[in-house]
Amino acid sequence: MIVLIAPEHNVTNEIDILQQLFQNGLQYFHLRKPHMNYEQHCNYLNQIDSKYHNCIVTHRFHKLLKQFNLKGIHFQEAKRHQVLSTMPSSINRKQFITQYAKLLNVTSNLLETKTISSSFHEPEELENCSVIFNYHLLSPVFSSISKKGYSGRGFNVNHINKKIIGMGGVTANNLTAFDKLG
């Protein structure tokens, strides 16, 4: 499983490149544009052929699910903490979906059909989180290529029985080491 995360700032021909990636089988694109507002997110999505919207997971403006047929939503660490702080401490996935659907003003059925993921920076927190997401992003595994000073920690997650996607410094040169870490 490969998850592509949008660059924070738009790059030349970004939409064209993205559509080519979708045409070639990209299934998980995380729309993470922290500097863009709601309208800019809508404009960005409107530039992408709607047949690919079901491959896009949004980090911000989760209510975009109502307007676009997106693959799902992602909770960055701070947002997950904020939402979970309003819920019982040992909430399970089903309860989480029900509660968050109310906050989003959507049906639970809609959220149940979507991918829900979250970011983690500590394996222990990921392991102890009562909500089991479709997948969990854990970083930094290796020193980041795009963020200066973001040193890799070589997390070994073989003992955690959750779907975990490692991030940070992943290159063709370290895929073997990456695989051994789980």
Q: Cα 32 vs. chain centroid, distance in angstroms?
A: 8
Q: What is the DSSP letter of 165?
A: E
109 contact partners, CB below 8 Å, separation of at least 6: none
List C-alpha distances in Å: 64 to 16, 30, 45, 87, 174.
22, 13, 10, 23, 36
Query: For position 116, what pLDDT does the model report?
Result: 97
Within the chain, what is the greatest distance between any pair of CA atoms?
Answer: 45
For the entire predicted model, the pTM comes to 0.91
Q: Look up tokens 């920076």; give the residue.
A: 121
pLDDT in tens, 78-126: 999 999 998 888 899 999 999 999 999 999 999 999 999 999 999 999 9
The residue that leads in pLDDT, 154 or 113, is 113
Helix (H) or strand (E) holding 39: helix 38-46
Query: For position 55, what pLDDT does the model report?
Result: 98
* Residue spans per domain, the chain: 1-70
* Ramachandran bin of 30, using left for φ above 0, alpha for ψ from -120 to 50, beta for the remaining angles: beta
Query: For position 121, what pLDDT does the model report?
Result: 93
